[in-house]
Amino acid sequence: MEKYLDPSYSPQERAEDLVSRMTVEEKASQLRFRAPAIPRLGVPEYNWWNEALHGVARAGVATVFPQAIGLAAIFDDQYLKEVAEIIATEARAKYNENIRKNDRKIYKGLTFWSPNVNIFRDPRWGRGHETYGEDPYLTSRLGVAFIKGLQGDGKYLKAAACAKHFAVHSGPENLRHEFNAEVSKKDLYETYLPAFEACVKEGNVESVMGAYNRTLGEPCCGSKLLIEDILRGKWHFKGHFVSDCGAIQDFHTHHMVTKTAPESAALALQHGCDVNCGEMYHHLMQALDDGLITEEQITTAAVRLMTTRMKLGMFDSDCEYDKIPYEVNDCKEHNLKSLDAARKSMVLLKNNGVLPLNKDKIKTIAVIGPNADNQVMLEGNYSGKASRYVTILEGIQNAVNEDTRVYYTKGCHLYLDMVEDQTRDFFAEAVSMAERSDAVVLCLGLDSTIEGEEGDPHNPYAAGDKKDLNLPGLQQELLEIVTKVGKPTILVLGTGSAMAVTWADEHCDAILQAWYPGSQGGTAVADLLFGTVSPSGKLPVTFYKDTKDLPEFTDYAMKNRTYRYFTGEPLYPFGYGLTYSKVVVSDMKAPKQIKRGEEIPVTVTLKNVGDCPVEEVAQVYVKDLESSYAVTNHSLAAFQRVALAPAESKTVTLTVSPSSLEAVDEEGNRRLDSSKFTLWVGLSQPDQRSQALTGQKPLSAILTVDR
């Protein structure tokens, strides 16, 4: 038996043997994302491109979970791992069926280009809802959890995850093919790289995808600094590297760092890009003939790719995942998990006591707004297709008592795609419905046709980015007209990013941030509005009052961005979210002094003193009191979701890693530069705005480190 067919050898040994039997042309062909078959060696064709951001995407029916930003708002890495395990199970189920039908086209493989662990540094970025928010620590923990869930812990990889987009990538979308992200070494290592490092070192992620833009002058998919020096050098990454789609062509058409297609292909391969999503690696043989690359470089890349295919069990008959049946895809159990995730993800931003609504007292309710019956809003982008969707309107219709009247009108369009006078024709109807109702649910916001990726032909707003943080079109006018009727008014925001809803904060009775909540989102909204469950999500991003509070979108310096550096007062802070009960935090215990490198256990008691069962998120923040390199404010260092019945108390211990005490100097070096720190533990940040909104002050302690 040939070594590459013998599972007693390691995946790399088998890959090396297989590649050694290929001609140079065959090796080069395997570096294209549409890799052709090599029949004489028994190598089937393979398409490397597949997506699984919040469910198996773009490949027909699958369970559609809340968008990534909503999953981040759950603040529970173990829970996200469970979600990723379900996604991997459905991925294998679909793959197994596709193989039986010999269907090996795009979106049919096992290499998934997820998760997106870029930092959501600016709320205007259209793709920010694909991420886990603005904080490197939260993003690291969630990225690692998603990868472990997707890849599994068996003999083979259940699926192969990909951390993207490496690195320093978060808009503007309309400039991404030509933009050069200038960033200090401090910001690079303090904010933009930690999640990727965790995905490599802790998550053992199988692949990494480069970004479209340049970083510090080098195109990210052909960067010596990012790929050679950091990823493979400092972090010892052993997996494969993939270009974003069309990114290598940008080298000579937009970035102008090369002149020809063979030169672009050569630059990417030289610095370690193994598979090209695009067409540029069709020019590898010309680059070889021109002396721009060597056969050894082609061989190295081919071995990495074949190693991944070996790890996935593609050349074996005993892979433990080959028997996963198609029937588990989109099954009832998985859709119930999606519903549960949607409930946990939503963030209650304001409540003057109107929520939860009493369905026995509500005889008429008005559901108004362009997102009330909007299926697209449920999905977000990079989504699969559910077999059944429940919009917010449908969720409320299903939830109310049989004799309750539900009025509905769209009110206005999501954005201005018609003459303004025509769209205002719905306003009178909206007011009439509000006048006749016991309560009003206003469903406003965005969807992925407004905020999303550059290149989407349906995107009218700056190639996917938001121009500002306001409600688009006539939504603000609709909000004001309906609210001024004077009925109890609940605003449900369906968005993937922060909005400056300052008027709503002053005038609405309650505001619920629903994100893009997945196929079961309407049921989840209704469950929260009527108190079937309590809201429990926390914000993974800062909500600002205005873009005037922020630097220019193209400025990648972290100064005055995100909760760690922002010096103004936010509208709603990172880590904030209300529930229907009151949880009291007490009895904080933390060491007063530790030795360098020791973990820090922080123990605290949480008691639910209300009459509603809730889930709360205990959060630990750290502030360096001495170092000149410390972040401006404080940093999240640990979190834990805790379920509490009425009158129940639980004592939990959160562990702070010694790395959370390190500062990053101007050269990008992590160092323990202080001996004194403040530790806070509570249900939100230790900032004044959080305390004002929640009425609770976190507990604190001073920690001394023996250096």
Residue 350 · residue 524 · CB < 8 Å: no
- The helix/strand/coil state of 208 is strand
Tokens of 507: 């005038």
Helices first, then strands: H and E counts in the chain? 21, 24
Query: Can you spell out the DSSP letters for 651-707?
Result: EEEEEE-GGGG-EE-TTS-EE---SEEEEEEESS-SSHHHHHHHS---EEEEEEEE-
Tokens of 170: 């978060």
For residues 503 and 641, give the distance between their C-alpha atoms in angstroms, rounded to a whole number. 31
Closest CA to 165 of 208, 112, 107, 218: 208
| Gap between the Cα atoms of 295 and 303, Å rounded | 12
Is the Cα torsion angle 333, 336, 341, 344 positive or negative in sign? negative
CA distance 420 to 413: 10
E strands, 154-248, are: 162-166, 180-181, 207-210, 214-215, 218-219, 240-242
| Residues carrying an active site annotation | 244, 451
Longest dimension (CA), the chain: 79
Distance (Å, rounded) from C-alpha 464 to C-alpha 450?
6
397 contact partners, CB below 8 Å, separation of at least 6: 406
Q: Are 380 and 448 contacting, i.e. CB atoms less than 8 angstroms apart?
A: yes
- The contacts of residue 365 (CB under 8 Å, 6+ apart) are 357, 396, 400, 404, 405, 406, 407, 437, 438, 439, 440, 441
d(CA 201, CA 185): 20
Length of the chain: 707
Tell whether the torsion through CA atoms of 202, 278, 38 and 95 is positive or negative.
positive
541, 92 in Cβ contact below 8 A? no
